[in-house]
Structure 1
């Protein structure tokens, strides 16, 4: 199997001077996904958990609805300059073949659709609407999730150059964490794991991501029926609109003891919060 890190020569420039030394980098390689021998898409990803990746990708794109929809998934022959298999082509045999046209998913943040069209499309496609009630979210547990996610980023420790996504229970237990150079791939790997473990719909779980909350990440969470998404950085306006439309609790700037809740306010316990500086929404 391909490595997830690689060594490259660098010049380290600092106040102490210039030093030539190797640096550890995260590997980024293309993965071509085929269905029935025909190319569907190519995504740039960090090798590893590729089977989870294709399950999550095909699920969040609405091509499959369960792990059983994939009969087989096998690597096709492909070699590098040393004659070693690159493991960069996966062919998927679907239980019930569907007419899928080859297309590019590399620019899939609404893909030129207007906001209303994008929101309507996700609402129509999901098979797992988010329940109106539950789970209750304790701000103290939410505040601990970024640290819990970071503590499980083993490849980030070596490279500092990739994203992570984790599924947590409302009491803060980490069920699974996946890393990838692409934030969307990290989420697809995670949701692919959940699909294979029969944890979808994930109506009782929290999705935590290490970067920003884009429309695409909220869309993937909605497809899995996840009621809460936390992000270390900011959401986009369309991500917030989709979260509101879908009944999801979306939390951004989750750092230290502070956070911004953009939607689904009723799930967040505010009993211990200081209301003295609160303002009407």
Structure 2
């Protein structure tokens, strides 16, 4: 048998058919809480507790803190972080101010909550740290339609469990640059953004973001924070996600599959496939 990848566990199950019940083993995606604690001038401050799939916890923490507006665009922290079990402690730079009240989540974030726990949408509209991407960009529709399958082919945890989300970052030629998997949609994206933050790769101009599920408002907010202007999702966007994409100049596509997609905002970045012309 193949060894279990990190982030999965095996469990005994009973498998039923129309005529029989048999014992079997199945592989499930792990779901554990992660407490993100900041060490600030001798004090320990809990920023959030999120239900996540263990692995890449530092990237998750950095991506969360950056996309919530607590970290500046330039990578300023990450050194000295300690992870013990389900607790991550991150030393906070002494010169960097810290304001946790804006999170307003009672120190708890569900892996599927989207924007729940926020007292109002006003708390989510944060000042974006990067100017608008100055370079005009256009992508062939057949390239965009191929990206979800490329992400799916790379997903080791989904391959073993069938029950996990992914976010993938692609170059404009379709090369998969980085991806992450997690039981939480926004956690998967935070891991991708945290990796970009830690490697000083922000802003992510000219990168294509692919989401394995639906596109929520919170995911579009995180993409906007990172300077991403093209977001592709396998599922549908919400109304608020489409409104945010329109407002922030993001090309948002849903139901992306081989042969077609739905574009909900700024279709000017999508060109026809070779030998085809766009519909009038």
Q: Is TM more than 0.5 here? A: yes
Structure 1 residue runs of 5 or longer lacking an equivalent are: 77-86
Select 1:89's aligned residue among 69, 87, 90: 87
Q: Secondary structure at the match of 1:201?
A: coil
1:268 and 1:99 mapped to 2: Cα distance? 40
The match for 2:98 is 98
Q: Secondary structure at the match of 1:9?
A: strand
2:20 and 2:132 mapped to 1: Cα distance? 56
Query: Normalising to structure 1: TM-score of the pair?
Result: 0.87
The match for 1:11 is 14
8 Å CA contact retained: 2:163, 2:183: yes
Give the CA deviation at 1:19: 0.9
The answer on 1:109 being equivalent to 2:119 is no
Select 2:81's aligned residue among 69, 73, 84: 73
Select 1:41's aligned residue among 44, 48, 54: 48
1:67 and 1:94 mapped to 2: Cα distance? 12
1:129 and 1:250 mapped to 2: Cα distance? 19
8 Å CA contact retained: 1:41, 1:105: yes
Q: Secondary structure at the match of 1:125?
A: coil
1:273 and 1:213 mapped to 2: Cα distance? 28
Structure 2 residue runs of 5 or longer lacking an equivalent are: none
Give the CA deviation at 1:108: 4.7
Give the CA deviation at 1:240: 0.4
8 Å CA contact retained: 1:5, 1:27: yes
Q: Secondary structure at the match of 1:72?
A: coil
The match for 2:28 is 25
Superposed CA offset, 1:157-210 (max 9, x none): 111110011000111000001000001000000011111122210011000010
How do 1:95-244 residues align onto structure 2 when only pairs under 5 Å count? Answer: 95=93, 96-101=96-101, 103-106=107-110, 107-109=113-115, 111-114=118-121, 117=122, 121-122=124-125, 124-131=126-133, 133-244=135-246
2:132 and 2:13 mapped to 1: Cα distance? 48
8 Å CA contact retained: 2:70, 2:99: no
CA-based RMSD of the aligned residues comes to: 2.0
Query: Normalising to structure 2: TM-score of the pair?
Result: 0.87
Q: Secondary structure at the match of 2:80?
A: strand
1:130 and 1:151 mapped to 2: Cα distance? 32
2:199 and 2:17 mapped to 1: Cα distance? 48
8 Å CA contact retained: 2:215, 2:238: yes
Give the CA deviation at 1:9: 1.3
2:268 and 2:197 mapped to 1: Cα distance? 28
1:202 and 1:243 mapped to 2: Cα distance? 16
Q: Secondary structure at the match of 1:59?
A: helix
Q: Secondary structure at the match of 2:167?
A: strand
